[in-house]
């Protein structure tokens, strides 16, 4: 759910291609015949689910794809989008369920498409990705075991990316990227979207605590490449039956690498905890299970664990403030933009009311219960 660096998306940067136009892109740029195309929900880019007609010349190609059209701001950073695309391919080769990138007729992984809007010509980067099976994790009751597995997945992803190399890797140093947790203070310029109320007061308190207690400790955190958006709609799952007939879920897809940037291990687990809380009926319990899974791969340092509560609160603030702001820009997309807000404000308020010590006690005791020799 990203936009260009420096500031959140500006009005009219979101693509508004029709299904006919999107089909024409698939056929002209990628050389594939479209049999059916449907829009997919998106934040400030545009996505289409594309069904490809099989011919004798395309028997080896994809049968279902996702056409991804970046907004005009992110389309100005082709190096960054190329790195993100190569990361998806790198992770797929390492065994992660990420999409493959389908090459253009000219053997590139992206193509720049220009549209004359009447007053100006706008350019959009387009990519074609393989369609991944499964349902968003938001649609199922999530068990403690699945939370553990998602925490473990987040850590394995960051750990694997330690071995990723690319000539444009420095493009992931996105200094003013609004979705990087390091940039929580940048939210101040968007607070007006909340109006004057208790919600705004809580966000202002979190931002101040972040400045005082997190910004001063960043040098003590271990740096890495973050996916940065492992939310409950970006993780797909498929079910199978266990020997006793119960449904067993496994991750079948990891979506949306647009928020990737250099961050810290503790950022990834904080972001994952926050998003796994969204649909949970017992949100405060979630953190311990995710943390246990993450620490089974990458144990956190005392400094990192000490910042976790504030980082989770800070991610709630990022998501809630920027959703409110984006609704001013794209009121027609309010239903998708406000997914987090449906429960997010309540969860943030609950964490704030309980306080750091009480929440940490639940998280850390739950995580400890996963250690060998301790009964769960």
The answer to whether the CB of 51 falls within 8 A of the CB of 64 is yes
What are the φ and ψ backbone dihedral angles of 197, each rounded to 5 degrees?
-165, -175
* Residue burial 36-69, b: 16+ Cβ < 10 Å; e: rest: ebeeeebbbbbbbebebeeeeeeeebbeebbbbb
CA dist., res. 230 & res. 150, Å (int)? 9
CA angle 202, 206, 212 (to 5 degrees): 145
235 CB-near residues (< 8 Å, 6+ apart): 136, 137, 150, 153, 251, 253, 254, 255
CA dist., res. 156 & res. 254, Å (int)? 13
> What size, in residues, is the chain?
376
Catalytic residue among 45, 229, 256, 259: 229
Task: Decide if 258 is catalytic.
Answer: no
What angle do helix axes 265-277 and 302-329 make, rounded to 10 degrees? 60
Q: From 109, 87, 64, 78, select the one nearest 225 (Cα to Cα).
A: 87
The answer to whether the CB of 292 falls within 8 A of the CB of 249 is no
Q: Which residues pair with 39 in a beta bridge?
A: 48
Q: Among all chains, which residue has been given the structure tokens 């997010």? A: 344
By annotation, the residues acting in catalysis are 229
């Amino acid at each position: 759910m990203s936009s260009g660096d420096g500031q959140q998306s500006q009005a009219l940067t979101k693509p508004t291609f029709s299904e006919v136009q999107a089909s024409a892109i698939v056929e002209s740029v990628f050389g594939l015949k479209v049999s059916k195309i449907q829009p997919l929900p998106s934040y400030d880019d545009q996505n289409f689910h594309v069904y490809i007609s099989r011919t004798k010349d395309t028997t080896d190609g994809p049968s279902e794809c996702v056409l991804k059209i970046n907004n005009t701001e992110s389309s100005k950073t082709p190096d960054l989008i190329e790195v993100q695309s190569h990361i998806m391919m790198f992770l797929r080769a390492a065994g992660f369920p990420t999409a493959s990138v389908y090459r253009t007729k000219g053997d590139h992984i992206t193509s720049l498409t220009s549209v004359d809007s009447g007053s100006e010509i706008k350019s959009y980067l387009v990519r074609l990705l393989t369609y991944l099976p499964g349902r968003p994790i938001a649609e199922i009751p999530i068990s403690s075991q699945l939370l553990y597995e998602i925490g473990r997945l987040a850590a394995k992803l960051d750990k694997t990316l330690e071995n990723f190399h690319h000539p444009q890797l420095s493009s992931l140093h996105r200094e003013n990227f609004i979705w990087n947790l390091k940039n929580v203070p940048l939210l101040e310029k968007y607070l007006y979207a909340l109006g004057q109320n208790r919600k705004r007061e809580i966000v202002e308190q979190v931002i101040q605590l972040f400045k005082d207690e997190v910004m001063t400790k960043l040098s003590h955190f271990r740096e890495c490449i973050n996916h940065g958006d492992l939310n409950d709609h970006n993780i797909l799952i498929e079910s199978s039956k266990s020997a006793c007939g119960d449904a067993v879920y496994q991750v079948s897809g990891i979506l949306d690498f647009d928020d990737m940037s250099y961050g810290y291990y503790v950022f990834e687990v904080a972001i994952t905890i926050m998003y796994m809380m969204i649909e949970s009926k017992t949100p405060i319990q979630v953190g311990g299970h995710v943390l246990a899974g993450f620490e089974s791969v990458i144990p956190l340092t005392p400094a990192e664990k000490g910042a976790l509560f504030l980082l989770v609160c800070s991610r709630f603030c990022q998501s809630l403030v920027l959703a409110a702001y984006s609704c001013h820009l794209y009121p027609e997309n309010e239903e998708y933009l406000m997914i987090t807000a449906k429960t997010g404000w309540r969860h943030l308020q609950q964490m704030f009311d309980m306080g750091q010590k009480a929440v940490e006690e639940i998280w850390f005791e739950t995580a400890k219960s996963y250690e060998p020799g301790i009964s769960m």
